[in-house]
Amino acid sequence: MLQNILIVEDDADIAESLQYNFKREGFRVSIAESAEKGLRLALDEKQTPSLVILDLMLPGMSGMELCRRLRREQLTETIPIIMLTAKAAESDKIAGLEIGADDYIAKPFSVKEVIARVRAVLRRSEKESSPRYQDEQLSVDFDDMRVTCGGENVKLTRKEFALLEHLIRNLGRVATRQQLLDNVWGYSYFGDTRTLDVHIRRLRQKMGDCGNSIETVVSVGYRFIGSK
């Protein structure tokens, strides 16, 4: 089954260039020149996209607002979103990641890089539904909440396991501190991020040699990169 890419971009030259190159790579492509049209296409059950490439600076509804809307809808809440925009400041990237974007590419860009990023995000998305994670050292069974490192059992609290699961299911993707607090502690949590940092430190310690699979992204959050 062909994967469908939805491109929400008001610059016709950029949209058509991406469409041409994605079709050459075997994807189906839909184009929306506004966020409103992008929302209608994304919510069409007959052509629900596999991934959305989203410009932020759009006429009418902004790309940021569209991202929020897509994350609120049951049909689209898990669809990968890559933001493609001229707004390349660190604060813009963090804001995009915090509202649910999976990746962020600044303009001008290489079409080959965009295609590579799309393939990487789609691969991650497919792995997220797996009941188990396995690499050279670390094994995690999500259903049984069982973790081993180098064949040795790792005993974790529920919060520690929930943190590890969230990071693994977002393999290679930065999880901001606020995302982790919202997903593990809940949206009603009003404490500071020191609680999260303490839990991450304990999680790394308990995981022993596998603790280095959790990478700190300075000023942003954490990323799971796997054990080797």
132-224 CATH fold: Arc Repressor Mutant, subunit A (1.10.10)
* Per-residue tokens: 99: 């509202």
Residue 190's pLDDT is 58
CA distances for 162 relative to 40, 53, 156, 176, 208, angstroms = 34, 29, 9, 15, 18
CATH 1.10.10.10 location in the chain: 132-224
Segment 114-119 shows an average pLDDT of 91
| Options 3.30.70.360, 1.10.1760.20, 3.40.50.2300, 3.20.20.20; CATH of 4-128 | 3.40.50.2300
Asked whether the beta carbons of 35 and 10 are under 8 A apart, the reply is no
Residue 216's pLDDT is 95
pLDDT tens, residue by residue, 3-48: 899 999 999 999 999 999 999 999 999 999 999 999 999 999 888 8
Segment 119-130 shows an average pLDDT of 73
pLDDT tens, residue by residue, 83-104: 988 876 777 777 777 888 888 8
Asked whether the beta carbons of 225 and 213 are under 8 A apart, the reply is yes
CATH 3.40.50.2300 location in the chain: 4-128
pLDDT tens, residue by residue, 141-192: 988 899 999 999 999 998 999 999 999 988 888 888 888 888 788 755 556 7
Residue 160's pLDDT is 94
- Mean pLDDT lowest among 5-19, 47-61, 189-203, 204-218: 189-203
Segment 78-82 shows an average pLDDT of 90
Asked whether the beta carbons of 115 and 21 are under 8 A apart, the reply is yes
* Per-residue tokens: 203: 């999680």
Residue 130's pLDDT is 67
